[in-house]
Amino acid sequence: MFCSLVTAPSPTVPAAVREAAADVYGRPLQSLRISVIDRCDLRCAYCMPEEDYAWLPKADILTFDEILVLVDAFAANGVRRIRLTGGEPLLRARLPDLIAGLDERGLDDIALTTNATQLARHARALREAGLRRVTVSLDSLKPARFETLTRRAAIDDVIAGIEASAEAGFESLKINTVVMRDFNDDEIVDLVAFGRSVGAEVRFIEYMDVGGATLWQPERVYSREEILERLQGHYGPASAEGGRGNAPAESFRLPSGERFGIISSTTSPFCGSCDRSRLTADGLWYLCLYARDGIDLREPLRRGIPAEELSQRIAEGWSRRRDRGAEERVRAPVRGALYQIDELRQDPHREMHTRGG
Ligand code: SAM
Ligand code: SF4
Ligand code: SF4
């Protein structure tokens, strides 16, 4: 039961920012990914390849008011950028209401990562509620291949969602593509052209050995260097665009002017500048995508501890952070799937689709 001792689901001014929290390596807490639901309507082979999944209990899922209370506590520790994710975030009813609540908080950024199957009918309402940026996951332009990958014949809905987003006038529209060797590496040139046609920047992501990727094998990773080589072979030399900063993607520009990005978490991770953490739909806070355990914020929130204490817990949690999960994976002597399916069923929080990508 949500307790009113922790107050203020709708402040107009963000909570006073104490000195932005820094972790053991001096990395600031600036960005929070909030998974609003663990369920999904697709079954991407790199994320949810199994037949059955264990879902979070409904009673544990945070209400929007609870999420906003936590966002205030994170904002008090320096968080300025929020990304909503899942599971598939657009399966969460009335998502624009949450976005409107976030918009009242004067954050620097409110973004959404979505598979876009439902985006066409929601794009305008999301924009009007205050959503700034949209990232759509799209791994193939070929209908049959899309269906093989996701186990749903939904590519037309996804394309319609992308087009509706382009019309809705978001500050930025991006496409995320996970590149897998011998599956869709032959489409990266076409995807850049597709991005150009809809006004979206494409970001290519190396296939990652995250929790949930039970089919992951090193041979299936199509590396940053290979992606660059393929694109430059077709489009000509790409120039690097500034530094990556805290962002996960490196940005490049082609001679024709298009930009594209590469997220090389698997072969050359960027943990040293990582300012991101993740909140699951049931209120567990993970300091790293690869972290084994999370910090339970739902329990103190529902017990009704004062807002200041909640914020203090976040500050303490972040100050102890030593995580550099992707770098540790690179150093692992043998590299395979992070978890087997039995370990994932024991704790669904280990799943990428629960923790939020
Ligand atoms: N369902 C939404 C979607 O697909 O956009 C949001 C959640 S999904 C977990 C977020 C992102 O994680 C997607 O862009 C997806 O491609 C990425 N992802 C999932 N599993 C991955 C893996 N094994 N390697 C790289 N990226 C992965
Ligand atoms: Fe695919 Fe996203 Fe669903 Fe995972 S959560 S299966 S990446 S659509
Ligand atoms: Fe950040 Fe962990 Fe990803 Fe490294 S592996 S970039 S520390 S979330």
Output the DSSP codes for 70-138: HHHHHHTTT--EEEEESS-GGGSTTHHHHHHHHHTTT-SEEEEEE--TTHHHHHHHHHHHT--EEEEE-
How far CA 23 is from CA of 4, 273, 310, in Å, comes to 31, 11, 17
Q: What is the dihedral of CA 147, 132, 268, 293, to 10 degrees?
A: -80
Looking at the CA of residue 216, tell me the nearest atom of ligand 1.
23
Looking at the CA of residue 40, tell me the nearest atom of ligand 2.
3
- Sign (positive/negative) of CA torsion 85, 54, 68, 118? positive
Could you say which ligand is closest to the alpha carbon of residue 86?
Answer: 1
Give the E-state strand segments of the chain in sequence order.
31-35, 81-85, 109-114, 133-137, 172-179, 201-206, 239-240, 250-253, 259-263, 276-279, 284-286, 295-296
Model confidence over 286-299: pLDDT tens digits? 999 999 999 999 99
Looking at the CA of residue 86, tell me the nearest atom of ligand 1.
7
Kindly list the averaged pLDDT for each block of 10 residues, start to end, along the chain of length 357.
Answer: 44 55 96 98 98 95 98 97 98 98 98 98 98 98 98 98 98 98 98 98 97 96 98 97 80 95 95 97 98 97 96 98 96 91 94 93
CA of 9 to the centre of ligand 3 (A): 30
User: In a mutational test of the pocket of ligand 1, which residue from 39, 118, 176, 266 has the highest number of ligand atoms less than 8 Å from its CB?
Assistant: 176
CA of 13 to the centre of ligand 1 (A): 33
What does pTM read for this prediction?
A: 0.95
Q: Which long-range contacts (CB under 8 A, 24 or more apart) does 247-255 make?
A: 248/276, 249/203, 250/224, 252/228, 254/192
AA letter at 261? G
Model confidence over 300-340: pLDDT tens digits? 999 999 999 999 999 999 999 999 999 999 998 889 999 99
Q: Does the Cβ of 288 fall within 6 Å of ligand 3? A: yes
CA of 186 to the centre of ligand 3 (A): 28
Q: Does the Cβ of 324 fall within 6 Å of ligand 3? A: yes
